[in-house]
Amino acid sequence: MPAVIPSSLAFQIGCSPIPQKSAGTTGAPGGIYSAILSRNFPIIDKRYKNFLELRDKYLKKNVLFEDPVFKADDTSLFYSQKLPIKFEWKRPPDFSALKEECLRKKTVFEDDYFQATVESLGYKELGPKSTKVKNIVWKRPKEICENPQFIIGGANRTDICQGDLGDCWFLAAIACLTLNEKLLYRVIPPDQSFTENYAGIFHFQSLVPVRFETRTGTGLVKGHAYSVTGVEDIQHKETRVRLVRLRNPWGQVEWNGPWSDNSKEWATIEKHEKERLQQQSAEDGEFWMAFEDFKKNFTKIEICNLTPDSLEEDKLHKWTVSVNEGRWVRGCSAGGCRNYPDFFLFNSSKARCKSYINLREVTQRFRLCPGEYVIIPSTYEPHQEGEFLLRVFSEKRSTSEEIENKIEADHPVPIVFVSDRAKANKELNTDDYMQEEETKTMGKKKPAPASAGEESEEDKQFRTIFQQIAGDDMQITAHELKNVLNRVVSKHKDLKTDGFRLESCRSMIALMDTDGTGRLNLQEFRHLWNKIKQWQGTFKHYDADQSGTISSYEMRNAVNDAGFRLNNQLYDIITMRYADEKMNIDFDSFICCLVRLEGMFRAFQAFDKDGDGMIKLSVLEWLQLTMYA
């Protein structure tokens, strides 16, 4: 459910109570890769912008398209439930190919799945042994009449009449389609005939819901679907009355209350007004009723929110639409509704959905002053995962984008790779750059040596300590790094940590190793040491209860304080990668996350020579970057 708040107030991310139990796997549908390759950025080849280009691509390759988001396997059917039966995946028969084959063989189409036998009619009263189906004869349209036609002179809403099957929900939607010829032909392709190129095969697009119906004393049918075909205001005596025109898809059985076909209210309405409203007394299933009666008798109205390209007939008033897709990830962006006040207590909403209903689509209309707003889609309960599609329709053209969508770091130090290409492109002195960053990190100027080549007293002390740890080779291995770091953090009882794992220390070396030796030299160790001290302070700040962990919801602000700006997709990945089953992140995981961010930003800057935010990697560089990290 979306809520709207002024953008000036959207300065923090809403936090929710930390769950006490695990709610299953942390990955939403699609897992980590649906976060990396979000549907905001189509997985298909971006060189092909539309359907036609994509189709031509696959025709050229002589292969069939396979959707990477909706794969032909069991993962596309159910989220958490066990499959009740075994499914067999098949492509639907191609209409054009089937029709061409029938025309070539000079035969008429016979459906293998719906054969012209009594078994296709149904069960019980229409079952194969029922007396009602014994004398049924199957005929083609030309065997029924000499000149069969589907639609004559254009479709009209009164053409749709319900038969014996009881599919009123389907027929009510078809009746609405007849009001717009363009939309009707989207559902029923017009280039189909019983004479020209007739092959006994047609194609449509349909949806048939099932409901139970009961007729009431007012002429309405409970549980029945009606089409809303018109809305008007008229002058009745001294008041304005709002009327709604509806149609029963049966083609009969109408409302018999006020403003029905033969009601006394029409006696006071002038003739030209009746003609304008197309009011007539006929048992055609269509009738008028007051809007107040409409609200009393109907519990639900379904509105198909079309995209603006479907409403091209109205040139004066056009709607614009912006579309955004996202996902709720437990521990990161699934914070729940405004009942969880950590965010909404400090950021009041200007408009919001008033109810949460288990529907596939929820629509809400708002009247807002021009300005910038933040729209927050949410589930009712926190920690519920899923994907969502947010469409915003507006009378005036508007733009939308995901907040906090910038990805950047504060002055990352470029990595100098060991490959020949990277060495050849080295354009700066990394050691000097590191020293400059350390000075910024410490918040004060580094004491200058007394003369050129002479170390300061602080440098001498650090070098002495480093030599004691590293030995004569002045290089620290992963084991040595683990020992020294754990010796230091063990003195900080408030961190409540068991220390760094060996694998974590290996990652630190790989990500801070600028000369490709697999070890850390003095300058690299100094850079890592200063970063860890800085990040330790950040961790303590957000570990307010001194539990030795921080909430995954607080990770967003902690990462920002550490000098990194990320978008929601990356925060989703961090939560899935580093949070435990209670959505908490301990000190070891926190440092490993920031070390990896630091290393990846440095690696990217090393390859981004022109600073345009795009890089191109060879296979060697890609494997070097991913395997040694």
- Show the 3-state SS of 473-486: CCCECHHHHHHHHH
First to last CA, the chain: 40
Please name the amino acid found at residue 453: G
Give CA–CA dist 286/228, Å, rounded: 10
- The b-or-e profile of 550-564 (16+ CB within 10 A means b, else e) is bbbbbbbbbbeebbb
Using CA atoms, how far apart are residues 555 and 575, in angstroms rounded to an integer? 8
**Active-site residue list:** 168, 224, 248
Q: Model confidence at 513, in pLDDT bands (50, 70, 90)?
A: confident
* CATH fold for domain 1-28+316-403: Jelly Rolls (2.60.120)
Three-state SS for 180-232 is CHHHHHHHCCCCCCCCCCCCCCCCCCCCCCCCCCEECCCCCEECCCCEEEEEE
**Distance in angstroms (rounded) separating the CA atoms of residues 237 and 230:** 22
Q: What is the C-alpha separation between 189 and 204, in angstroms, rounded?
A: 7
Closest to 496 in 3D by CA, of 457, 550, 532: 550
Radius of gyration (C-alpha) of the chain in whole angstroms: 34
| Residue 474's pLDDT band (cuts 50, 70, 90) | confident
Q: How many CB atoms lie within 10 A of CB 132?
A: 12
The 8-class DSSP code of residue 447 comes to P
The dihedral sign for the CA sequence 420, 426, 432, 435: negative
Domain with CATH 2.60.120 in the chain: 1-28+316-403
**Choice among 162-171, 248-257, 421-430 with the minimum mean pLDDT:** 421-430
- What's the CA gap between 481 and 500, in Å, rounded? 9
Crossing angle of helices 502-512 and 587-607, rounded to 10°: 20
| Strand, helix or coil for residue 288 | strand
- 3-state DSSP call for residue 145? coil
Considering only residues 9 and 563, tell me which one the structure prediction assigns the higher pLDDT.
Answer: 563
Instruction: For residues 15 and 332, give the distance between their C-alpha atoms in angstroms, rounded to a whole number.
Output: 9
Helix (H/G/I), strand (E/B), else coil: 438: helix
Number of residues that this document lists for the chain: 629
The Cα–Cα gap between 384 and 208 comes to 30
Indicate if the pLDDT at residue 461 is higher than 80. Answer: no
Residues 82-135 have pLDDT tens digits of 666 677 777 766 777 788 888 989 999 888 878 888 888 877 777 777 887 888
User: Which residue in 213, 115, 128 sits closest to 162, CA to CA?
Assistant: 213
Are the beta carbons of 222 and 228 closer than 8 angstroms? no
Structure tokens at 34: 């649906």
Helix (H) or strand (E) holding 459: helix 457-470
pLDDT category of residue 450 using cuts at 50, 70 and 90: very low
CB count within 10 Å of CB 117 equals: 11
Using DSSP's 3-state secondary structure scheme, residue 542 falls into helix
For CATH 1.10.238.10, the residue range(s) in the chain are 409-627
C-beta of residue 392 within 8 angstroms of C-beta of residue 375: yes
Which is more confidently placed, 218 or 165?
218
Q: What is the pLDDT of residue 531?
A: 85
| Distance, CA of 2 to CA of 393 (rounded, Å) | 14
CATH of domain 409-627: 1.10.238.10
* Helix 522-542 × helix 430-442 angle, to 10°: 30
CATH of domain 147-297: 3.90.70.10
Q: Which residues of 63-87 are buried (b: 16+ CB within 10 A; e: fewer)?
A: eeeeeeeeeeeeeeeeeeeeeeeee
Per-residue pLDDT, 242: 93
Mean pLDDT computed over 291-314:
75
Q: What is the average per-residue pLDDT within 315-328?
A: 77
Distance between CA atoms of 527 and 602, rounded to whole angstroms? 13
Report the mean per-residue pLDDT for the chain. Answer: 75
Pairwise pLDDT comparison (511 vs 236), residue with the higher score: 236
CB 383 within 8 A of CB 330: yes
Residue predicted with more confidence, 73 or 24? 73
Distance, in Å, from the CA atom of 441 to the CA atom of 527, rounded to the nearest integer, reads 10
Q: Which two tokens stand for residue 470?
A: 């590293």
List, in order, residues 6 or more apart from 615 with CB less than 8 Å away: 604, 607, 608
323 vs 130: CA distance, rounded Å: 52
What letter represents residue 265's amino acid? E
Give every CB contact of residue 438 below 8 A, 6+ residues apart in sequence.
Answer: 446, 526, 527, 530
State the CB neighbour count (10 A cutoff) for residue 599. 22
Helix or strand run (H / E) with residue 551: strand 549-551
- Nearest to 153, CA basis, from 124, 178, 133: 178
| C-alpha to C-alpha distance for 224 and 300, rounded to whole angstroms | 11
Beta carbons within 8 Å of 5's beta carbon, 6+ residues apart: 347, 348, 349, 350, 373, 374, 376
Q: Give CATH 3.90.70.10 domain extents, the chain.
A: 147-297
pLDDT for the residue numbered 210:
38
Residue 624 — very low, low, confident or very high, per pLDDT cuts 50/70/90?
Answer: confident
Count Cβ atoms within 10 A of the Cβ of residue 520 and give its class: 0-12 exposed, 13-18 middle, 19 or more buried.
buried
How far is 373 from 3, CA to CA, in rounded Å? 10
- Mean pLDDT, residues 578-599: 88
Spatial separation of the C-alpha atoms in residues 584 and 19, rounded to whole Å: 10
Half-sphere exposure of 394 (CA within 13 A, CB side): 12
Is the pLDDT assigned to residue 524 strictly greater than 60?
yes
**Of 539, 556, 551, 533, which Cα lies nearest the Cα of 590?**
539
Q: Are 26 and 575 in contact (CB under 8 A)?
A: yes
Please give the distance of CA 67 from its chain centroid, rounded to a whole number. Answer: 16
What mean pLDDT comes out for the span 26-54? 47
pLDDT tens-digit readout, 527-536? 888 888 888 8
